[in-house]
Structure 1
Amino acid sequence: MKQKIQDILTEIVEQFKKNNLIPQDATVRVMIENTKDKKNGDYATNLAMLLAKPMKKKPQEIASLIVDSIPVTDEITKVEIAGPGFINFFVSKNYLASQVEAILNDEHLGVKTAAKPETVVIDYSSPNVAKEMAVHHIRSTVIGDAVVRILEFLGHKVIRANHIGDWGTQFGMLIAYLEKKENENASNLELSDLEAFYREAKKCYESDEEFAVRARGYVVKLQSGDEYCLKMWKKLVNITMVQNQEIYDRLNISLTEKDIMGESLYNPMLKPLVEDLVNKNLAVKDDGAMVVYLKNFADKDGNPRGVIVQKKDGGFLYTTTDIACTKYRCETLGANRIICFADSRQHEHLMMSWEIARLAGYVPDGVVLEHGAFGMMLGKDGKPFKTRDGGTVKLKDLLNEAETRAAELIAQRNNDLPEDLREQVIKTVA
């Protein structure tokens, strides 16, 4: 309705110009505001006062001219002049009721769907394996899921990508430690036991040479597809993701097991990808490592920034994985748009990975790559949480505390709620 009134007033201004009431070169900005007090109607404009100087008339006189020029419609029941020349508009209640009814009867609530639906890959949540989700995971998870739902509502094809940290050299150590725990009759390992799992595994690795040798051997075996190591690795992933799914369900997050696209998915692609970058003269050997030099990230002296895509020992980096990930999302998933929700520290890393992917031709023209950046959750020391160092707040504990406090508030204010409704209110408030 506001736009409709603005269009009417804009047309009146143009008519005044045609009638030479306003100079042809006069610039007039039509402003419509919501009224603070409904006694003054639903919308108001100060247009008459803005026109006082170019028209050389009193605002009240101009306001009368404007009101007389407004066409009669069913939507507006009354237009009146107030104060020094404000014009107030009263919208018909019947019109508002019909609009609300039309919205309620429309499955899209009156929101227009996209004229050209896109395939959008949204990368969000992305917890690591062998540890519980911590409080700082809530941002990527909730923001990402909100955007997923909005874009789906607008008619886009949305592919959820839960890019979990389920690969890397640390898994040799974790597999060896899981084996150790199971041999100690702890086969019913719960995720709560994994809160200190990584740290204890690392202690064993650093203090027990026999354990360290076995762990390094398991890395090689895992990466070679060894059946036993893969079985132990999957156990670690499953223990983690079953518990994470409970958190997702509790928060009404739409992620499920089928949306997992972990780092392991891209592992077979890394060696051919680096070979392709070499063949395209993008990656060059430098001190034994394969490096891509980016002119768009040059330093103040104009020296291109070097980005390692393969270490001298043959290992790959997160950058390599993210390039492969981008390639997969464009070529296999057919993405027109990719949005990655991660904290602001990841920005430069993502920009460089995407720059390499574009230079290599993995990202077709017109595909949009976006970093949905947000701030960091800090500890009492003012530094970002690090789950591997311990001391961070578990997301599960945060949700439990929220429910405890909500229950206390409900108990203070209302003791008459039926038990089932009380539980529903507590969870909703929490």
Structure 2
Amino acid sequence: MASVTSLSDVVQQHLASALSATLPEAAGADPLLRRSDRADFQANGILALAKKAKANPRELATQVVSQVVTGEVIKDVEVSGPGFLNITIADRAITGNLAARYADETGRLGVPTAAHPGTTVIDYAQPNVAKEMHVGHLRSAVIGDSVVQLLEFTGEQVVRRHHIGDWGTQFGMLIQYLDEHPHELDHKASAEDTAASGEEAMSNLDRLYKAARKKFDSDDEFKTRARRRVVDLQAGDPQTLAMWQKFVDESKIYFFSVFEKLDMEIQDPDIVGESGYNDMLAET
């Protein structure tokens, strides 16, 4: 089945024709159509065109309205404010468009695939290791996942990326505390129970982080050992890296439990840490 033209595109075409008929030099100009709470759509492009043509925007808008073909698609157009156009769509145009989409046997609802699909990188979520995700992370995760699904539906190849905060001086404090308290990240919940395992992982990380911070702030000797750990981490000390990896793995258990609740498809290769740039720092 052929693709179904969206109502906004049809209205855009009607307005573009009316603009060209009213102001020939405006042929090809964008009417700047958008959704409106005052009508189905509002067009604001006449204001800029009037300024360029040194014309009264409201008078120009009135002339454009007289050129708009109403009936099949557009029920009514009225001039509002300094020269906005408020457009109301005919009920039969809406029902007809919906019926045409419903009749699409391919299941695509009349939405075509891109003629020349490309590759797009979507970077979203970006949580921090050993810390609970906040509403900002959840918001970007949901928006990013929505954009991914929309692009993939059109045939675009999408590269999903979650750049997690897994590097920094705070890891010296965390690693040193774990070295001195090796059972702090032990699990009791079954790994098969993603939700319970994720909650336990976050609970362990949160408890360890608070304990490590308290000791770091109150114990100068521990603070010195923690700062040495930062140097060891950045230098690639195997033992230090192994403990750092425990924090990353534990955090991923929590991350994946949250993504699962949001019904998001996230694969481990999609997650890229700041640590990946450590070897490049010497080049800068």
Please tell me the TM-score bracket, short chain as reference: 0.5 to 0.7
Shift in alpha-carbon separation, 1:154–1:206, aligned structure 2, 3 A: same
Whole-Å Cα distance in 2 between the matches of residues 268 and 134 of structure 1?
29
1:128 Cα deviation from its structure 2 partner? 0.6
User: 2 CA distance for matches of 1:203 and 1:210?
Assistant: 13
Counterpart Cα distance in 2 of 1:92 and 1:114 = 24
Q: Is the 8 A contact 1:164 1:261 kept in 2?
A: yes
The whole-number CA distance in structure 2 between the counterparts of 1:224 and 1:201 is: 22
Closer/same/farther in 2, CA of residues 98 and 187 from structure 1, 3 Å limit: closer
Normalization by structure 1: what TM-score? 0.43
CA shift, 1:222, in A, is 1.2
Residue of structure 2 equivalent to 1:171: 171
Aligned twin of 1:307:
none
Aligned with 1:44 (options 64, 71, 75): 75
- Find the residue that maps to 1:127 and give its secondary structure: coil
Give, in angstroms, the shift of residue 122 of structure 1: 1.2
**1:261 partner SS:** strand
Alignment of 1:259-338 (within 5 A): 259-272=270-283, 274=284
What amino acid is the match of 1:188?
Answer: D
Does the 8 A contact of 2:185 with 2:204 survive in 1? no
**Alpha carbons 2:122, 2:158 under 8 Å: kept:** yes
CA offset at residue 264 of structure 1?
0.5
2:144 is aligned to: 144
Query: Is structure 2 residue 211 aligned with structure 1 residue 210?
Result: no
Provide, for residues 208-265 of structure 1, a one-character-per-residue CA deviation record: whole Å limited to 9, x for no partner: 2221222112111111111111110010011111111011011111222221111011
In structure 2, distance between residues paired with 1:207 and 1:92: 67
> Which one-letter code corresponds to 2:100 in the other structure?
Q
- Does the Cα contact within 8 Å between 1:128 and 1:165 map onto a contact in 2? yes
Write the letter of the residue equivalent to 1:232. M
| Percent of aligned positions that are identical | 42
Task: Please list the CA deviations of residues 137-170 of structure 1 after superposition, one character each: whole Å capped at 9, or x if unmatched.
Answer: 2111111111111111122211111110001111
Written as runs of structure 1 = structure 2, the 5 A alignment for 1:61-140 is: 99-103=100-104, 105-140=105-140
Which residue of structure 1 lines up, in the alignment, with residue 68 of structure 2?
30
Question: Tell me, which stretches of 5 or more residues in structure 2 are unaligned?
Answer: 22-62, 79-89, 188-200
Is the aligned partner of 1:161 residue 2:200?
no
Give me the CA root mean square deviation: 3.5
Distance, in Å, in 2 between the alignment partners of 1:212 and 1:173 is 7
Distance in 2, matches of 1:186 and 1:167, equals 20
Shift of 1:192: 0.4
Based on CA coordinates, which of the two structures has the bigger radius of gyration?
A: 1
**2:243 aligned with 1:232, yes or no?**
yes
1:90, distance to aligned residue in structure 2 (A)? 5.3
Q: TM-score, normalised by structure 2?
A: 0.63
- C-alpha distance 269-144 of structure 1, shift in aligned 2 (>3 A): same
Deviation at 1:29, TM superposition (A): 3.9
State the distance in 2 between where 1:92 and 1:221 align: 65
Native 8 Å contact 2:102 2:109 kept in 1: no
Deviation at 1:98, TM superposition (A): 6.5
Cross-structure match for 2:186: 188
8 Å contact from structure 1 (residues 31, 46) kept in 2:
no
Distance 2:94 2:173 in 1: 71
Q: How does 1:360-379 map to 2 (within 5 A)?
A: none
SS in 2 for 1:122: strand
Greater length-normalized contact order (CA 8 Å, ≥ 6 residues apart): 2
In 2, Cα distance between equivalents of 1:155 and 1:258: 21
Aligned length: 211
One-letter identity of the residue aligned with 1:255: I
Q: Displacement of 1:188 after TM fit?
A: 0.8
Q: What 5-or-longer segments of structure 1 have no aligned partner?
A: 15-25, 34-40, 48-87, 275-430
Partner SS for 1:136: helix
1:355-394 mapped onto 2 (5 Å cutoff) = none
The aligned counterpart of 1:67 is: none
